[in-house]
Amino acid sequence: MVNKVFPDSVEPEYYPNTTTFVNLLNISSSKELRNKEADFTAVRSIELLQTAAVNLTSQTFDFKHLQAIHYHLFQDLYEWAGKPRSYDMKKNGDEFTPAKLLPKYEAQVFSRSIDFSNLTQRPNIDEAAAKLASCLGIINTYHPFAEGNGRAQRIFISEVANVHQYSINWNAVHPWEVVETSKQAHAGNYEPLEYLIKRVIVDKIQP
């Protein structure tokens, strides 16, 4: 059987002679686009993390759920918001799941978040941190979007945690630390990422 990319997969275009994605704001400066990205996604993140915002995503804790988050975050910027990449991706030496294998591994990757959401007994905070780190690590390796994977992943993990009345204070750590611990998980060492989650997870029942 030949592996195929997702039917709605995309490879974003760049403005000529730049490394800037073609965008809905028609900004060709990468610095200006980064600033606009930060502004728009900050507002959209708040919308997603509000209690009433659960209706904005499917809350199924699968790939469609992650896609809905990515779409909501980047809908003001890119036509391809929420759509998986159709090409292989490598960043800072890390190779992510090849595009043609994204459909094949979808169920395996999201089984961790679905299993967590379906737990009948609420895990204690250490158990929750370990399971959430496992979810985040494998989804980061999956890395299905051309851009914005980290931001979508963090919102997704926050929504997964919320099922069992935990929240994640991502502001308690620097973004580079999330990146570095995710890189270590990508290499098979989940301990640093689990330790990071233990530092940012908050018990909403027994704060």
10 occurs within a structural domain: no
Rg (CA), the chain: 17
- Segments in the chain forming alpha helices (H): 30-49, 63-74, 102-117, 125-142, 149-162, 175-186, 191-200
* Mean pLDDT of the 136-164 span: 97
If one counts the domains in the chain, the total is 1
Q: Is residue 15 part of a domain?
A: no
Confidence (pLDDT) at 57: 75
Residue 3 lies in a domain: no
Q: Is residue 7 part of a domain?
A: no
pLDDT at 1: 40
Name the CA dihedral angle for 89, 188, 168, 117, rounded to a multiple of 10 degrees: 90
pLDDT at 95 over 60: yes
Residue 25 lies in a domain: no
- Tell me the residue type at 195: Y
Q: Is residue 100 part of a domain?
A: yes
> From CA 36, how far away is CA 30, in angstroms rounded?
10
Q: Indicate the DSSP class of residue 190.
A: -
What per-residue confidence (pLDDT) applies to 51?
Answer: 60
- pLDDT > 70: percent of the chain: 96
Residue 3 scores a pLDDT above 80: no
- Predicted structure pTM score: 0.94
Q: What's 191's domain CATH number? A: 1.10.3290.10
Query: Does residue 5 surpass a pLDDT of 90?
Result: no
Let me know if residue 118 belongs to a domain. Answer: yes
pLDDT band at 52 (very low <50, low <70, confident <90, very high): low
Across 87-91, 116-120, 130-134, least confident range: 87-91
Q: Rounded mean pLDDT of the chain? A: 94
145 lies in some domain: yes
Please report the DSSP string for 166-187 in residue order.
Answer: EEE-GGGS-HHHHHHHHHHHHT
- pLDDT value at position 53? 55
Higher pLDDT, 138 or 5: 138
Closest CA to 167 of 195, 134, 205, 133: 205
Range of the structural domain that residue 71 is part of = 30-203
